[in-house]
Chain A
Amino acid sequence: MQLTLWTYEGPPHVGAMRIATAMRDVHYVLHAPQGDTYADLLFTMIERRTERPPVTYTTFQARDLGGDTAQLFKDAARDAYERFKPQALLVGASCTAELIQDDPGGLTQALNLPVPVIPLELPAYQRKENWGAAETFYQLVRTLAVKPAQPRVRGENKPRCNILGPTALGFRHRDDVREICQLLAQIGVAVNVVAPLGASPQDLARLVDADFNVVLYPEVAHQAAGWMARNLGQPATKTIPIGAGATREFIREVATLAGLDPGLATTETHSHAPWYARSVDANYLTAKRVFVFGDATHAIAAARVAASELGFKVVGLGTYSREFARDVREAAALYGVDALISDDYLEVEAAISAAGPELVLGTQMERHIAKRLGLPCAVISAPIHVQDFPARYSPQMGFEGANVLFDAWVHPLMMGLEEHLIGMFRGDFEFHEDAAPSHLGGAAIKAKQDEAPALIELPPPEPDKQEGPAAAITAAWAPDAEKELRKIPFFVRGKARRNTERYAQDHSVPVITIETLYDAKAHFSR
């Protein structure tokens, strides 16, 4: 038993729903008790879909458990087929139905429906949402993308690829697909099928016509892409085109797979981000401490963009995707940090507190953790709330994606010139450090720190959270030293405080005085 308040991922059948909802002419019959329809509103509310997800629930109740649940399932499957006439039917069980052990696959086979029926085995007590999505997509591809008897129709003039991985409820999947399609068109690669988003079972049957696959979201597509590589001879891309650098690398990889000129990678018409990052206003971004957490794909990509395209210092990298823990560990090693592999948000919160970042890049949960800790934050990965399904065009991938990332990540930070001016006029009655960034409006006011003279920022006394390095005892600050500390510009004050405390600890100084403060400054500036 695991005590959980927040879960980064839903159960695996929600992953299956994300595939079914992404596609056209597929219907999913889910053996599930009353109440599991809650998942519908993820699609109709968070993603604001105009149609209900193509899912029929059997809605069994306690009084049905006597033994006719199997019949209930058969009726639901038959009725769903009659009503929706899908090209393929997915059938499976939710967590409770898994326990009552009806066999959705066998029961539906007995109905002899004139369309392919794909039974899904989604172990709800071991696996989670992304795994469910990957498995469902894999089963669909395996069943429907059959090797044709005749030689396959290859691209006549242009090389062709499939785009694999975008789903319903995916973070910016809609716009990523548009951006990548544009990019591929620009370099002369035709898109054969985009799947699962917008594809029908008939489209899946045409997957085999492509020369290679573009995998945008390994969490969803790696299993299907692996199968296609082995059985259909289609190689797949490995680079995730998030950030200008990765996008250029992606173009090189695609061009090589497509037999085109890898030099195409210099096409960079819409990318303002690299110049913005070089402009002097961005100087203040140098070595800003950033903590990155999300699904493996977005976390790894974000860390790379943060370090090599914005000049941040990655002080933490982690993921809730256990399936990709190895990749995240490898990436974390590049930045000299230990990867955090966890789906417990309290652990993430502790790690963020301990790392002391100046910016958090994460999911909806990290947004709230950061809010609580008073840190700037930008969202880079699912799970996300309704505001991260924006009306405007806002991809994460490709060159326009790089622009979006620059704006989205820099926005919560103080702009460079503003930081500089506040440093100059600090203490000014209307231009002081506790004023929120002007571009964020007056509402985002921090806690009134100036009213509390003893500014000892100890972590809140929650005995449960004092695990790991944060538990070390910190020296107390003498009031005058505390006062002196406040004279240091606030954007380096956190660092000064940390360094001084570390110095005090290393030198066993129990109370930090003005002397200690400057001793530490001298010590660390050597």
Chain B
Amino acid sequence: MSAVIPIHADAGCTDAPVLAERGQREVFCGLTGIIWLHRKMQDAFFLVVGSRTCAHLIQSAAGVMIFAEPRFATAILDERDLAGLADAQDELDRVVKRLLERRPDIRLLFLVGSCPSEVIKLDLSRAAGRLSERFMPQVRVLNYSGSGIETTFTQGEDACLAALVPVLPVSMQQHEPELLIVGALADVVEDQFARLFTAMGIRRFAFFPSRRSTALPAVGPQTRFLLAQPFLADSARALEGRGACRVSAPFPLGAEGSAAWMQAAGAAMGLQAAEVEQAIAPARKRAEQALTTHREALTGKRIFFFPDSQLEVPLARFLARELGMVLTEVGTPYLHRQHLAVELAWLPAGTALSEGQDVERQLDRCRALRPDIVVCGLGLANPLEAEGFTTKWSIELVFTPIQGFEQAGDLAGLFTRPLTRRTLLAA
């Protein structure tokens, strides 16, 4: 790793070169997104069409949640399905019929493509159209791909939301801007944001995905959408296709990030910066206060990110700017320069960025850098701990509420805890 020379000091990493790698990737596929998406969309069911491996993956990732009669399942392909395609479509109809009889409360069914179904080119979009025709208006059937060959981890959410965009209602009002927050957020975070928007005086705002499929937000040329998550490239494109405009902002992580995100929301809705500032001031102050205790533990500590969720760049920005951490390498599975423009500008100049992965080489770099804390997946975490590294497993950053002011302290705490623990156990 050679240090990157900043081109101009105040542009952060805007033009920084990125190490692009190909090789073995130690990441989840997009099917994993189902685990949090089905919690968010309360009347949706996710049916994966795939192999036993897909079913096994979801159950391994879902842990104990699988027993609470969750709203996802796998239609496992067997030899007979591989023999002829026409047959597979009939089989799928049979499985879906059985499923919907069993779960009459379901209003939205996603047929989720997997690697096997994509490779045999099972036409799930045709199946979704056919089944939708058959079960509408009770159940709408859509499809997207969460396959590993096309999607990495959180990109599954992107694919799912992008599939929903075409069925969003058309917004009838034509004059005033409407704000759409895009990306699944924990309910508690969503509620906090809604309260702040209301305090700012924004009346027309909605969240996408909505909690129920029967109350999908409308979209039109007056829609200004603000991404709450950094991994929504296709969804953003689909929304733009429907005339909506993306509002550029950093992501709402940390006090500073959340404030800037709120400011962007306000500006898009025609508010003055001072109005927004006034509405968010108490929450922002609380967040800054919550961070001070963690700053002591984290300042000067060196952190290394393995790629996982695309949240790495915003997280690194937060940890560097608000907590004084030193970034060694920030890996991301995919770097969307446009959506991350503000984030990149805010990263300390000279940060080593990498996109994609060759896990063995990246481990070599990590070992050579000897960071104080490593953010990585569960496949790497214990082996790295055994080598003497302190790790923070990354999936928790996707499952835990971390966005917004009230969660800023918790987010910092996720990084402080493993370091504290190491100190405690060593003592």
Tell me the A residues contacting B by CB distance below 8 Å. Answer: 1-7, 9-11, 13-14, 33-42, 44-45, 48-52, 56-62, 64-65, 76, 79, 83, 94-96, 99-100, 124-126, 128, 365, 368, 372, 385, 464
Asked if B382 is at the interface of the complex by the 8 Å CB criterion, the answer is: yes
Contact of B95 among A3, A57, A100 (CB under 8 A): A3
Q: How many A-B residue pairs have CB under 8 A?
A: 177
- Using CB atoms and an 8 Å cutoff, list the residues of chain B in contact with chain A: 23-32, 49, 51-53, 55-57, 59-61, 63-64, 66-67, 70, 72-79, 81-82, 88, 91-92, 94-95, 98-99, 101-102, 115-116, 118-120, 147-150, 152, 360, 377-383, 385-386
CB distance from A100 to the nearest CB of B (A): 6
Chain A residues lying within 8 Å of B61, measured Cβ to Cβ, are 38
Q: Decide: A45 and B67 in contact? CB cutoff 8 A.
A: no
* Least Cβ–Cβ distance between B291 and chain A, in angstroms: 30
Known: A1-B76, A99-B120. A45 touches B382 (CB 8 A): yes
Q: Which residues of B contact A61 (CB under 8 A)?
A: 148-150
The winner among B27, B28, B382 for most chain A CB atoms within 10 A is B382
Complex contact B95–A1 (CB within 8 A): yes
Q: Could you tell me if A1 and B92 are in contact, using CB atoms closer than 8 angstroms? A: yes
Are B379 and A96 touching (Cβ within 8 A)? Answer: no
The answer on a CB contact under 8 Å between A3 and B119 is no
Chain A residues contacting B383 (CB-CB under 8 Å) are 44, 49-52
- Pick from A2, A56, A368, A464: contact of B24, CB under 8 Å: A56
B105 → chain A closest CB, angstroms: 12
Among residues of B, the one whose C-beta sits closest to the C-beta of A127 is: B52
**Could you list 17 further interchain pairs (A-B, Cβ under 8 angstroms) beyond the known A4-B74, A10-B56, A124-B52?**
A1-B95, A3-B95, A5-B66, A6-B55, A7-B76, A33-B148, A34-B29, A36-B57, A40-B26, A41-B378, A44-B380, A65-B119, A79-B360, A95-B52, A95-B116, A365-B67, A464-B101
24 residue pairs bridging A and B, Cβ less than 8 Å apart: A1-B94, A3-B74, A4-B52, A4-B74, A4-B75, A5-B66, A5-B74, A11-B51, A11-B52, A13-B53, A34-B29, A34-B152, A35-B115, A35-B147, A38-B28, A41-B378, A42-B60, A50-B386, A59-B25, A79-B360, A95-B53, A96-B119, A125-B51, A368-B64
5 closest pairs, A vs B, by CB?
A35-B29, A35-B148, A40-B379, A50-B386, A96-B115
> Would you call B99 and A3 a contact (CB within 8 A)?
yes
Distance A95 CA – B23 CA, assembled complex (angstroms): 20
In angstroms, how far is the closest chain A Cβ from the Cβ of B7? 31
Q: Which of A83, A94, A368 contacts B360 (CB 8 A)?
A: A83
Which residues of chain B have C-beta atoms less than 8 A from A6's C-beta? 55, 59, 66-67
Partner of A52, one of B59, B73, B380: B380
Q: In the complex, A372 Cα to B119 Cα: how many Å? A: 39
A87 to B16: give the CA distance in the assembly, Å.
43
> Beyond A58-B24, A96-B51, is A7–B378 a contact (Cβ under 8 Å)?
no
A497–B109 CA distance with the chains assembled, in angstroms: 42
Within the complex, the shortest CB–CB distance from A377 to chain B, in Å, comes to 13
Q: In the assembled complex, which residues on chain B have CB atoms less than 8 Å from the CB atom of A11?
A: 51-53, 56
A381 to chain B, nearest CB (A): 17
Whether the Cβ atoms of A1 and B379 lie closer than 8 Å is no
**Shortest Cβ gap from B146 to chain A (Å):** 9
Instruction: Find out whether the CB atom of B119 lies under 8 angstroms from the CB atom of A7.
Output: no
Q: Give Cα A2 to B52, complex, Å.
A: 10
Q: Is B52 within 8 A of A49, CB to CB?
A: no
Chain B minimum-CB-distance residue to A52: B383
Q: Known contacts being A61-B149, A368-B67, A464-B102, is A124 close to B53, with CB within 8 Å?
A: yes
A42 to B32, CA, bound (A): 15
CB atoms of B27 and A36 under 8 A apart: no
Q: Is the CB of A94 within 8 A of B99?
A: no
Check if B25 sits within 8 Å of A37, measured CB to CB: yes
> Which residue of B74, B91, B94 has the most chain A CB atoms within 10 A of its CB atom?
B74
Q: CB distance A59 to B24 under 8 Å?
A: yes
Q: Given contacts A6-B66, A44-B383, A62-B150, are A125 and B25 in contact (CB under 8 A)?
A: no
- B82 neighbours in A (Cβ, 8 Å): 99, 125
| Given A3-B75, A99-B119, A125-B77: A38 in contact with B57 (beta carbons within 8 A) | yes
Whether B382 and A94, one on each chain, are in contact in the complex, defined by CB atoms closer than 8 angstroms, is no
Query: Are B26 and A37 in contact (CB-based, < 8 A)?
Result: yes
CA distance A195 to B174 in the complex (A): 73
Q: Nearest Cβ in chain A — how far from B149, in angstroms?
A: 4
Report yes or no: B73 in contact with A5, Cβ–Cβ below 8 A.
yes
Task: With both chains docked as a complex, state the minimum distance between the C-beta of A328 and any C-beta of chain B, in angstroms.
Answer: 22
Please name all residues of chain A whose beta carbon is closer than 8 Å to the beta carbon of B150 when the two chains form the complex: 61-62
User: Is B57's CB under 8 angstroms from A99's CB?
Assistant: no
Residues of B within 8 A of A50 (CB): 382-383, 385-386
Q: In the complex, which residues of chain A have a beta carbon less than 8 angstroms from the beta carbon of B98?
A: 3
